[in-house]
Amino acid sequence: MKNTEKTMEKIVALCKGRGFVYPGSEIYGGLANSWDYGPLGVELKNNVKRAWWKKFVQENPYNVGLDAAILMNPQVWVASGHVSTFNDPLIDCKACKMRHRADKLIEDYLQETGRTDVNVEAMTQEEMVAFIRDNNVPCPGCGKSDFTDIRKFNLMFKTHQGVTEDSSTEVYLRPETAQGIFVNFQNIQRTTRKKLPFGVCQVGKSFRNEITPGNFIFRIREFEQMELEFFCQPGTDLEWFAYWRQYCHDWLTNLNIKDENLRLRDHEPEELAFYSKATTDFEFMFPFGWGELWGVADRTDYDLKQHQEHSGKDMTYFDQEKNEHYVPYVIEPSLGADRVTLAFLVEAYDEEVVDAEKNDVRTVMRFHPALAPFKCAVLPLSKKLGPAAQEVYAELSKYFMVDYDEAGSIGKRYRRQDEIGTPLCVTVDFQTVGDENTPADHCVTVRDRDTMEQVRLPIDQLKAYIEEKIAF
């Protein structure tokens, strides 16, 4: 019997083979840990971002959107603390020269040994060094335990803005989208005339010079974030924290992420950033272990106050009811678009035994239909039916991403669509068009990806049927 285990190797191979994700700059030997989204991948990721925008901006009564610039005044990053503290603890193996992030080295060691008595996130640099020495934590590269001291490595990418070297300014590629929201707090409040509580959402690229990227699109150097900064009255922040924690959870599970693959890890007091009152990491069970998907944090008034101090501009809000000025508190749910896309790929991947005796196994990507790259595929039963099928295809394409396939047996075509997660296959057959003896019935057969069941539907009902199926 075929091994139906879900592994990263299989998922990466499917992504590459079917056009979800390719290695970046592949014909030049690639560029470490850069990935390009292919024709199916760009649809999937756009659908993920759209599903987020729909629930967080369109349907949420409190929030509005923003698209801020990637390059910002460098003072922003001084105020935010990124220039001084956005560092990873870098450690080198003296024996094989492999470079590691000390915290990840310890985390992997703990996972492998099954120990749960230590919390890496709460450790100081000195405690990490001591732990590695005391426990003889081995280098994953060569197995020896002979490391340098830890050095701090700033993760921000630098570049130059300006025409000539001497007149140019050093600028950073933003390492998060959040600061674009904070610096626009007053603009948005003034122009939308929103009262607290209200939130600002943004989707966009962020850049981090990660020491140890990897695990496919889980940790990359150029990635997209979907961030919300939710501003509220101090004292109401913990209630809003609970609201957004639940809202984020529901967004994931409504898109078919199973609760059993999700872990909401609340930070212990000693692990909390000094400005945070509460933080929850949403972790997903990837084939390589638990990994953070979404960080939800109560950041108090830290960010706005930092910007007030460094820019000299007033960041307070005037509360008309209370007749007083104050700096709002902030709840921040921060999600990686690529990481959550990987989670959706992993969750969707399934090898279903159709017939054990014949060793017949089909690969199905069980995406929520709202996320599936194609909403349906139009398949003529025979090439002769091409023109009639293309009419159906052209009509549906006005509303949805639709695939068209006339190559090979119908069974093979179904399997190809299963493998890319197309929720519905629409087959045009001879009854659809009729002949000299039988009148056309103007109906098509619609096959469901998950149940493999078929229904016969009039062509003019297809649009409504698909719309209902993909609703989110």
Among 220, 385, 396, 425, indicate the residue that binds ligand ATP (CB under 6 A): 220
Contact between 184 and 201 (Cβ < 8 Å) = no
From 20-28, 215-223, 229-237, 409-417, span contacting ligand ATP (CB under 6 A)? 215-223
What distance, in Å, lies between the first and last C-alpha atoms of the chain? Answer: 37
Contact between 78 and 156 (Cβ < 8 Å) = no
**Shortest CB 219 distance to ligand ATP, Å:** 4
Number of residues that bind ligand ATP (CB under 6 A): 15
**Shortest CB 225 distance to ligand ATP, Å:** 5
Q: Is residue 335 a contact point for ligand ATP (CB under 6 A)?
A: yes
* Helix/strand/coil for 438: coil
Among 18, 82, 219, 416, indicate the residue that binds ligand ATP (CB under 6 A): 219
Site for ligand ATP in 289-308 (CB under 6 A): 292-295
From 10-18, 136-144, 328-336, 405-413, span contacting ligand ATP (CB under 6 A)? 328-336
Among 210, 352, 391, 395, indicate the residue that binds ligand ATP (CB under 6 A): 210
Q: Is residue 223 a contact point for ligand ATP (CB under 6 A)?
A: yes
Residue 69: CB partners within 8 Å, gap ≥ 6? 180
Q: Is residue 267 a contact point for ligand ATP (CB under 6 A)?
A: no
Please provide the DSSP assignment of 295-324 as one string: EEEEEETHHHHHHHHHH-----EEETTTTE
From 125-133, 334-342, 404-412, 421-429, span contacting ligand ATP (CB under 6 A)? 334-342
**Considering only CA atoms, which of 45, 12, 107 is closest in space to residue 336?**
45
Q: Is residue 350 a contact point for ligand ATP (CB under 6 A)?
A: no
Burial 408-425 (b: 16+ CB within 10 A, else e): eebeebbebbbbbbbbbb
Q: Is residue 338 a contact point for ligand ATP (CB under 6 A)?
A: yes
Q: Is residue 81 a contact point for ligand ATP (CB under 6 A)?
A: no
What letter does residue 57 receive in the DSSP assignment?
I
Q: Is the peptide bond before 197 cis (omega within 30 degrees of 0)?
A: yes
Determine if residue 293 is labeled as part of a ligand binding site. Answer: yes
Any idea of the CA torsion for 319, 323, 328, 329, to the nearest 10 degrees? -110
Q: Is residue 21 a contact point for ligand ATP (CB under 6 A)?
A: no
* Residues at the interface with ligand ATP (CB under 6 A): 208, 210, 219-220, 223, 225, 292-295, 334-336, 338-339
